[in-house]
Structure 1
Amino acid sequence: MNKIINATTFDHAMSDAFEQLLEEHQDQTLIFKDCTFEGMICRDVEAGTVRFENGIFLETELKGCQLDNSHWYKCKAHGLDMSYSSVMDATFEGCDLSSSAWVGAQLTQTQFMHCKLLGASFLKSKALDLTFSHCILAMANLQGISFRKQHVCGLDFSDADLGGCDFTESVFEDCRLRNANIRGAKFSGADLRSCDLGGLELKDASLLKGAIISKNQASDLLQAYGLQVL
């Protein structure tokens, strides 16, 4: 049985009321449709199954909350703070999560699809089997996240911090690594042939040790040093 909350605004003064809703309906699917969450601060709250549809989150903190199996659809949540929350097996679809914080969050088997995550921080998150598909991750902090053996599709990593990430045997399709920090990342067996490597210089090519690149990509690296491949 579902409990639906329609077009309600939860401001800072209603933080307790929101927490109570989550706690009282743990045996139901709690659906928030077209709701606005403004200046709300909730911490260490345990929820059942929650679904947010077309939600707007303004200066909202959900730190340390239990939101496993939650579903977020077309939400605008710029700056949402989910630090140290458990968001395992959750799905984010078509959301704007720019400048959001996921520091120390539990993100096992969490999926982000067609999301904007510009400048988001996943520092120290526990991200086993975390997947992104067709997402903007420009300027995001993804240090240490494993993409091992994944099909990495439609991701824009421009200017992102990918230090220490594991891309071993992953296959990139229609992705951008332009000006990304890849120091300490693992690329052994990774297929980068359909990836934009703009900004990478020949002196940094060793950072892609073991990766598969195309002849055109290799030529571009050499041409940056005034060399021609005939």
Structure 2
Amino acid sequence: MGLALQGEKIARNRFTGEKIENGSFMLCDFSGADLTGTEFIGCQFYDRDSRQGGNFSRAILKDASFKSCDLSMADFRHANALGIEIRECRAQGADFRGTSFMNMITSRTWFCSAYITKSNLSYANFAKVVLEKCELWENRWHGAQVLGASFSGSDLSGGEFSGFDWRAADVTQCDLSNAELGELDLRTTDLQGVKMDSHQAAQLLERLGIAIIG
């Protein structure tokens, strides 16, 4: 059995750089903790009884990794998450407002780094989050809140976008190939530089009453 903690406030350096498999962290408070390079594999952070997730607010999650974890309802607000990996996780309702995936080089030059793939992001909150040129493929985005978010240049391929407000976020230069595009409307969404396959393009044009021949 993995480590099992309940209702604990996690000391700042307790898990820095550690590898933790099959752990259970019910109602644990990781706020402000330094989890630089920490790996969580198959860990549970969501408490079903209280319907509360792990608290990672203001944590340092630089190069931290979550694989096959339950991050439902997790609070990532104002965390430093440059280089974070979230792969094959449940993250429904997770709150990423104010999370930084950005490395500022100067006041005007910066880059983002994040790998969020094959995860359930339904109803997660990405309002005003900047996740540009990142790996964000094969995620489920149903009902995610993305008002003011920028995904420009990111790989969103293979995603499921039912119940997704395309007008609310910047998706220019994104790869949308093989994605289920939900209610995407060519008339109201800026698709400059977007990549999609011919089947998707034909579907979008058909919605405008344009028949594709050949």
1:171 lines up with 2:138 in the alignment: no
**Is this contact kept in 2: 1:179–1:200, CA < 8 A?**
no
Give the equivalent residue in structure 2 for 1:159.
143
Q: Name whichever of 80-89 and 170-179 sits farther off.
A: 170-179
Query: Is 1:72 aligned to 2:40, yes or no?
Result: yes
1:22 matched residue in structure 2: none
Structure 1 position 220, deviation (Å): 2.7
TM-score normalised by L of structure 1:
0.74
Provide the C-alpha distance between the structure 1 equivalents of 2:202 and 2:193, rounded to a whole number of angstroms.
17
User: Higher RCO, 1 or 2 (CA under 8 Å, sep at least 6)?
Assistant: 2
1:4 is matched with none
Counterpart check, 1:220 vs 2:203: yes
Give, in whole Å, the separation in 1 of the partners of 2:100 and 2:131. Answer: 13
Question: What does 1:8-87 correspond to in 2, within 5 Å?
Answer: 34-42=2-10, 45-47=12-14, 48-78=16-46, 79-87=53-61
Look up the SS of the partner of 2:157 in the other structure. strand
Structure 1 distance, partners of 2:134, 2:100, is: 17
Per-residue deviation, 1:191: 2.5
Shift, 1:226, TM fit: 5.5
Distance, in Å, in 2 between the alignment partners of 1:224 and 1:174 is 21
CA contact (8 A) 2:88 2:117 kept: yes
Per residue, is there more strand in 1 or in 2? 1
Supply the distance in 2 between the matched residues of 1:173 and 1:211 (Cα, whole angstroms): 11
Distance 2:19 2:175 in 1: 36
**Which of 129, 136, 143 is the equivalent residue of 1:145?**
129
Question: Using the alignment, how far apart are the partners of 1:199 and 1:152 within structure 2?
Answer: 19
Give per-residue Cα distances to partners, 1:169-218, cap 9 Å, x unaligned: 333331122222334422222221211111234553x2434423344334
- Mark the runs of 5 or more structure 1 residues left unpaired by the alignment: 1-6, 8-33
Please tell me the residue identity of whatever aligns with 2:17: T
Query: Which is helix-richer, 1 or 2?
Result: 1
Q: Aligned pair in 2 of structure 1 residues 132, 202: CA closer, same or farther (>3 Å)?
A: same
Separation (CA, whole Å) in 2 of partners of 1:208 and 1:132: 22
Which residue matches 1:134?
A: 118
Q: Distance in 2 between matches of 1:59 and 1:189?
A: 39
- The TM-score normalised by the length of structure 2 is 0.79
What is the rounded CA distance, in whole Å, between the counterparts of 1:97 and 1:208 in structure 2?
31
In the alignment, which of 115, 124, 137 is matched to residue 89 of structure 2?
Answer: 115
Q: Is the 8 A contact 2:101 2:131 kept in 1?
A: no
Q: How far apart are the structure 2 equivalents of 1:152 and 1:87?
A: 17
Structure 1 outlier segments of 4+, above 6 Å: none
Aligned residues: 196
Q: Which residue of 1 aligns with 2:64?
A: 90
Aligned-pair identity in percent equals 23
Q: Which runs of 5+ in 2 are unaligned?
A: 47-52, 103-112
CA distance in 2, matches of 1:151, 1:104: 21
The one-letter amino acid of 1:189's match is Q
Larger Rg: 1
